[in-house]
Each structure stands twice: as structure tokens, then as C-alpha cells.
Amino acid sequence: MSYFDPFLAPLLAVDPNPANPIITVFIIASIIALFIVILQKLLIDYDKMTEMQDKMKEIQTELREAQKAGDPKAIAKVQKKQMEFMPMQKDLMMMQFRPTLITMIPILLIYYGMVGNHAISHMVINIAPSQFYLLLMPLWNIFWTQTNPLTINFFGWYILCSFAMSFVFRRALGLKAM
């Protein structure tokens, strides 16, 4: 029994296979992905971010050219520009990190609520050997081992759904990759 069960019960009730709630996890991952993408759209000024990244690339190019030329005065001048740009870069990092800070605790609470639900935490998706390699499962198995490598557990399915739906929502809302 989990504190999240009152929220999961309606979703599990409409899942065609409540004993193995693949669709329920997909819906929850999609809702969380949509929430995060909308929050990013609201909190991140993508025009300012792009402008700052372009300016930083320009400064890096100037620094490389000055280093190739071996001109200590030009190097010092570019490094001074870099130091002046540091506070703006700090603001950029905070702007990118703010949505993460806001969503971290609710997502952890939802995740642990899902783990506490017996049906979700014990779900298993069997995959074919060809899917095993397409989903890069050999890489995943480095980080966690299962008794049967041709299965995806709750966490793996949640991650796959979350990444896929984040990509779809970012494209739909016209957001660039960070």
C-alpha cells in the first residue's frame, strides 16, 4: 500500500492489464514529462540562452585565435571578456536549473509512490532479442542487473516513456534542446 494509491487507483482501473500496468506508467511518465516541458517553457528564456551561448562561443573562438597567434595582450583581453561574462553565465545556469529545482521533490514523491504500489513496482515487459539491442539494453545492464536481461522493469519503462514523451512535447511546443 502506498500513499500514492488513491491517485493510481483510477489509472489502474482503466489499464487493460492492471496486473502489469504498462499503460499506467506510460500515462504518468507522459504527464510528468509534459509538466516539466511546460515549466521549462515558462521559466527559461530561450532567446537569451541562445544569445549567451553564441556570445560564449564567440569569446572561445577569439581566445583560440589569440592563443594560436601567441599574442599575450590579446589573450589577456579575451580572458578579461570571459571574466566579465561569468556573472551572465551564472544567471544562465540558474535559469536552466530552476525547473529542475522546482520539479525534483514532486517527481521523487510520485516516483516513490509508484514504487510503493505492488502492481507497478513488479511490472515486467518482455522484449525480443532484437529489441534488446535496439533499446541499448547491453549498456543499461552495466548499471543494473536483472535475472532476465530480456525484460524491462518499471524503472526502465518509465525512463523510456519519459524521454520519448519529453522529446515529443518539446517538438510540439517548439523548444530547442538545452
Given a cut of 60, whether residue 142 has pLDDT beyond it is no
pLDDT computed for residue 15 by the predictor? 87
pLDDT in tens, 18-42: 888 999 999 999 999 999 999 989 9
Q: Cα–Cα distances in Å, from 29 out to 23, 33, 73?
A: 10, 6, 53
- 139 falls in which pLDDT band (50, 70, 90)? low
Cell 539494453 sits on residue: 137
- 24/129: higher pLDDT: 24
Segment 47-68 shows an average pLDDT of 87
pLDDT tens across 73-104, in order?
A: 888 888 888 888 888 888 888 888 888 889 99
In eight-state DSSP terms, residue 123 is -
Q: Cα angle at 31 between 27 and 35, to 5 degrees?
A: 170
pLDDT at 177: 65
Average pLDDT over the chain reads 84
pLDDT score recorded for residue 161? 92
What pLDDT sits at residue 73?
86
Share of the chain above pLDDT 90, in %: 20
Helix-then-strand count for the chain, H and E: 8, 2
In this prediction, residue 23 carries a pLDDT of 93
